[in-house]
Structure 1
Amino acid sequence: MVLLHTTVADAADAERLADRLIESRLAACVHVETISSTYRWQGRIERAREWRLSAKTSAARLDEAADLLRREHPYELPAIWTTPVVWAEPAYADWVAAESQAQA
């Protein structure tokens, strides 16, 4: 199991990307939460409210899920990163694997 993360500027984009990941069976679950970001962009310090998506997916579907985010992300340079899951409740990890499998 892997957590795949990205951020977007508005709730509509967050919901759209979350829906696409779930509909495509590239993630079993996507958490969406509002955050406050401070970063340097094109030489200036920026502050923004963003929505962070954390998608629970299988290692086998990670590349496809990341590709979907790259294709459909509204940012010029999207932040897309992973967090490995060191341990998860086995039954829950099995559910994530089953839900993030390609349809037969």
Structure 2
Amino acid sequence: MSEPKACVVMVTAPNREEAERLARAALEARLAACVQLQPIASFYWWEGKITSDSELLLLFKTVPARFAALRDLILRHHSYDTPEIISLPVEDGAERYLNWIGQQATG
């Protein structure tokens, strides 16, 4: 199996200010081509009980080669003790869009 052409990195943030700060930091460092923010309701286990919060979901569009640097940037700047940072491979898509991601996320 060949390496994915791109990946989507999912990250949650507690508020719009932090989400925008993370998005801008990643874009300025050329670690992502695009970041989308979506309000979500999260339900999860934390410290032995089910909890829920309103959060923002950030979808970073990048290339696999930039994931480690993006993860490290998020870990340095995120307020959560254990932030969600999940990379999902993009196996296929519109060729022009995938090429654009590759061009933008590598500066």
Query: What's the TM-score bracket when you normalise by the shorter of the two chains?
Result: over 0.9
2:48 matches 1:43: yes
2:88 alignment partner in structure 1? 83
* Cα separation, 2, equivalents of 1:39 and 1:61: 28
How many angstroms does 1:86 deviate by?
1.5
What is the number of equivalent residue pairs in this alignment?
A: 102
Question: For residues 32-59 of structure 1, what are the alpha-carbon distances to aligned partners after superposition, in whole Å with 9 as ceiling and x for unaligned?
Answer: 0000001111012111000000100011
Match of 2:3 in 1: none
- Detail structure 1 runs of 4+ shifted over 4 Å in the superposition: none
TM-score by length of 2: 0.92
Distance 1:64 1:22 in 2: 12
SS in 2 for 1:78: coil
**What is the CA–CA distance in structure 1 between the aligned matches of 2:97 and 2:50, rounded to whole Å?**
40
In structure 1, C-alpha distance between the alignment counterparts of 2:96 and 2:49, rounded to whole Å: 46
| SS class of match (1:22) | helix
Q: Could you tell me how far apart the structure 2 residues matched to 1:77 and 1:24 are?
A: 22
Q: Any stretches of 5+ residues in structure 2 without a counterpart? A: 1-5
Aligned with residue 94 of structure 1, among 73, 84, 99: 99
SS at match of 1:25: coil
Q: C-alpha distance in 2, partners of 1:79/1:96?
A: 22
TM-score relative to the length of structure 1: 0.94
Q: Among all aligned residue pairs of Structure 1 and Structure 2, give the percentage whose two residues are the same amino acid.
A: 35
Give the secondary structure class of the aligned counterpart of 1:82: strand
